[in-house]
């Protein structure tokens, strides 16, 4: 029986991808295939799998049937053609870039990044000989100006904190397509509400650790291939995809995938980077993310609705100097948010306390329901004071350039009842 084609996120989250029921047992829930290896039918079958004449299970470092359901389901939800799940969001970012770059190459990245990505780009990639050119997303043309013949991709986050100004996805994707450069989007903070591939991005990645999991139990990441970028036409800009690959008996990835569809980028990542660097997602964690995914569209609705109410509430509070959330932005920032986000403005929210550093710390210490953690995207509400934690190694000036002032508090609004969220914020504000 063929599966109907669904397009609505609520349905895709439950029915999208490769799974209907387990062919052996009829199990409706996706089984956890907690195995390292898979028995070949015969030597011909084994040879076909290794030769990529047939796609199938070999060894769990390379692929796994539980993980495959997560990959095909998220690919469907993002509107891509295929995906690769990996051990963390950090490894997803690393793989997304390293798949295209060799020493001596460069990429152009937005300055507005998660701190872990910043470190990876500014220090670890630099040590590998990959240069990252940082560009202020306020001026999308900066991406074109920073591009040269060895620029392999552009990189940005949909809704980067602490500034929470939505990245101009369509503009930079269009600039990239004119230059023959693909845009890779970290969509961790905006699953369901933003579809970067539909806006012209070529690749999307997520830290599944955040909203996709939602329960805060597992670390993971995923890269989705949009199948919408012509790597072959890019010729010498993409040597890793268009030149013979000595690590896979001289295969040229853009040619080898022709019978399989436009999956050169993601297949090369699986068969070389995942094979060699080994950052595989555990099948149990893939199962946990599938559980999270089932309610993701519903949760995002509630996350976003709650955040909207918190933004309005804090905007009217006498101890709050400023609220940072797309719903209260004006001008170009608001235009960008409205162009890229549909069905919600996200659930990350910042606010500045008039009392500065001491007020920020006192507020955090007074919270009773919000968890004080360095995380986002949990079903529970979370809070942190960046100036004394995540950004404490930076000078006050450098903190300010990233958008962190001494009194800045970052909230990740959860799905609890809005009355309880506001009550906890109010009683903590009373103690400031």
Of 179, 37, 51, 186, the residue nearest 117 (C-alpha): 186
Backbone φ and ψ for 199, nearest 5 degrees, come out as: -90, 0
> Three-state DSSP class for 82?
strand
Window of 109-117, 195-203, 299-307, 329-337 that interacts with ligand PLP by CB under 6 A: 109-117
Backbone φ and ψ for 27, nearest 5 degrees, come out as: -55, 125
Binding mask 69-108 for ligand PLP (x = CB under 6 A): -------------------xxx------------------
Binding residues among 190-229 for ligand PLP as defined by CB under 6 A = 207, 209, 219, 221
Residue closer to ligand PLP (CB basis): 179 or 389: 389
d(CA 107, CA 134) in angstroms, rounded, equals 9
User: Least distance from C-beta 15 to ligand PLP, angstroms?
Assistant: 26
Binding mask 338-377 for ligand PLP (x = CB under 6 A): --------------------------------------x-
Number of residues that bind ligand PLP (CB under 6 A): 15
Cβ–Cβ under 8 Å, residues 370 and 424: yes
Burial of 322 (0-12, 13-18, 19+ CB in 10 A): middle
59 DSSP 8-state letter: B
User: Least distance from C-beta 376 to ligand PLP, angstroms?
Assistant: 6
User: Least distance from C-beta 158 to ligand PLP, angstroms?
Assistant: 9
Residue nearest to ligand PLP (CB): 89
Window of 112-120, 267-275, 302-310, 312-320 that interacts with ligand PLP by CB under 6 A: 112-120
Residue closer to ligand PLP (CB basis): 151 or 161: 161
β-partners of residue 260 are none
Q: Please count the other Cβ atoms lying within 10 Å of the Cβ belonging to residue 220.
A: 27
User: Least distance from C-beta 245 to ligand PLP, angstroms?
Assistant: 27
Terminal C-alpha separation, the chain = 62
d(CA 13, CA 211) in angstroms, rounded, equals 13
Name residue, tokens 């022709």: 258
Task: Write out the two tokens for 200.
Answer: 């012209």
User: Least distance from C-beta 83 to ligand PLP, angstroms?
Assistant: 15
Pairing state of beta strands 131-135 and 106-110?
parallel
User: Least distance from C-beta 189 to ligand PLP, angstroms?
Assistant: 6
Of 401, 362, 412, 405, the residue nearest 386 (C-alpha): 405
Show the DSSP H helices in 146-233 as ranges.
169-179
Show the DSSP H helices in 114-236 as ranges.
115-119, 125-128, 141-145, 169-179
Q: According to CB under 6 A, which one of 31, 79, 116, 180 is a site residue for ligand PLP?
A: 116
Q: According to CB under 6 A, which one of 157, 225, 378, 424 is a site residue for ligand PLP?
A: 157
- Applying CB under 6 A, does 242 fall inside the site for ligand PLP? no
d(CA 407, CA 419) in angstroms, rounded, equals 24
The four Cα atoms 153, 155, 158, 160 give a dihedral, to 10 degrees, of -170
- Applying CB under 6 A, does 114 fall inside the site for ligand PLP? yes
User: Least distance from C-beta 244 to ligand PLP, angstroms?
Assistant: 33
Residue closer to ligand PLP (CB basis): 160 or 262: 160
Binding residues among 173-192 for ligand PLP as defined by CB under 6 A = 186, 188-189
- Applying CB under 6 A, does 337 fall inside the site for ligand PLP? no
Residue closer to ligand PLP (CB basis): 88 or 381: 88
> Three-state DSSP class for 202?
coil
Residue closer to ligand PLP (CB basis): 158 or 242: 158
User: Least distance from C-beta 90 to ligand PLP, angstroms?
Assistant: 4
Residue closer to ligand PLP (CB basis): 70 or 189: 189
Window of 33-41, 102-110, 114-122, 400-408 that interacts with ligand PLP by CB under 6 A: 114-122
Of 103, 100, 78, 74, the residue nearest 86 (C-alpha): 74
User: Which stretches of the chain bind ligand PLP, using CB under 6 A?
Assistant: 88-90, 114, 116-117, 157, 186, 188-189, 207, 209, 219, 221, 376
């Amino acid at each position: 029986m063929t599966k109907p084609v669904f397009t609505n996120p609520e349905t895709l989250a439950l029915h999208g991808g490769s799974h209907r029921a387990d062919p052996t047992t009829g199990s409706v829930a996706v089984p956890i295939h907690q195995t390292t290896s898979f028995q070949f039918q015969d030597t011909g079958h084994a040879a076909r799998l290794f030769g990529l004449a047939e796609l199938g299970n070999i060894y769990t470092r390379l692929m796994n049937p539980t993980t495959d359901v997560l990959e095909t389901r998220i690919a469907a939800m993002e509107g891509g053609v295929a995906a690769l799940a990996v051990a963390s969001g950090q490894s997803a970012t690393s793989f997304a870039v390293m798949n295209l770059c060799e020493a001596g190459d460069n990429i152009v990245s937005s300055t507005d990044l998660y701190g872990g990505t910043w470190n990876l780009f500014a220090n670890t990639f630099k040590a590998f000989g990959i240069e990252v050119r940082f560009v202020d997303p306020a001026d999308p043309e900066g991406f074109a100006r920073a591009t040269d013949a060895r620029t392999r991709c552009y990189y940005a986050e949909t809704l980067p904190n602490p500034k929470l100004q939505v990245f101009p996805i369509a503009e930079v994707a269009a600039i990239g397509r004119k230059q023959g450069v693909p845009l890779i989007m970290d969509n961790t903070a905006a699953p369901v509400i933003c579809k970067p591939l539909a806006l012209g991005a070529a690749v999307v990645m997520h830290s599944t650790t955040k909203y996709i999991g939602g329960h805060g139990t597992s670390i993971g990441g995923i890269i989705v291939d949009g199948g919408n970028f012509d790597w072959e036409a890019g010729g010498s800009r993409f040597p890793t995809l268009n030149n013979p690959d000595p690590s896979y008996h001289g295969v040229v990835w853009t040619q080898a995938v022709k019978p399989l569809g436009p999956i050169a980028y993601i297949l090369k990542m699986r068969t070389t980077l995942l094979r060699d660097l080994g950052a595989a997602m555990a099948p149990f964690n893939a199962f946990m993310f599938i559980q999270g995914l089932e309610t993701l569209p519903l949760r995002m609705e509630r996350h976003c609705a709650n955040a909207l109410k918190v933004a309005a509430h804090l905007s009217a509070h006498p101890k709050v100097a400023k609220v940072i959330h797309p719903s209260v932005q004006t001008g170009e920032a608001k235009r960008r948010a409205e162009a890229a986000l549909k069905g919600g403005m996200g659930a990350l929210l910042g606010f500045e306390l008039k009392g500065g550093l001491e007020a920020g710390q006192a507020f955090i210490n007074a919270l009773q329901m919000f968890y004080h953690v360095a995380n986002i995207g949990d079903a529970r509400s979370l809070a942190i004071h960046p100036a004394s934690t995540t950004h404490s190694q930076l000078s006050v000036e450098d903190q300010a350039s990233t958008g962190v002032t001494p009194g800045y508090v970052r909230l990740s609004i959860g799905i609890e009842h809005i009355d309880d969220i506001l009550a906890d914020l109010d009683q903590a504000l009373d103690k400031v």
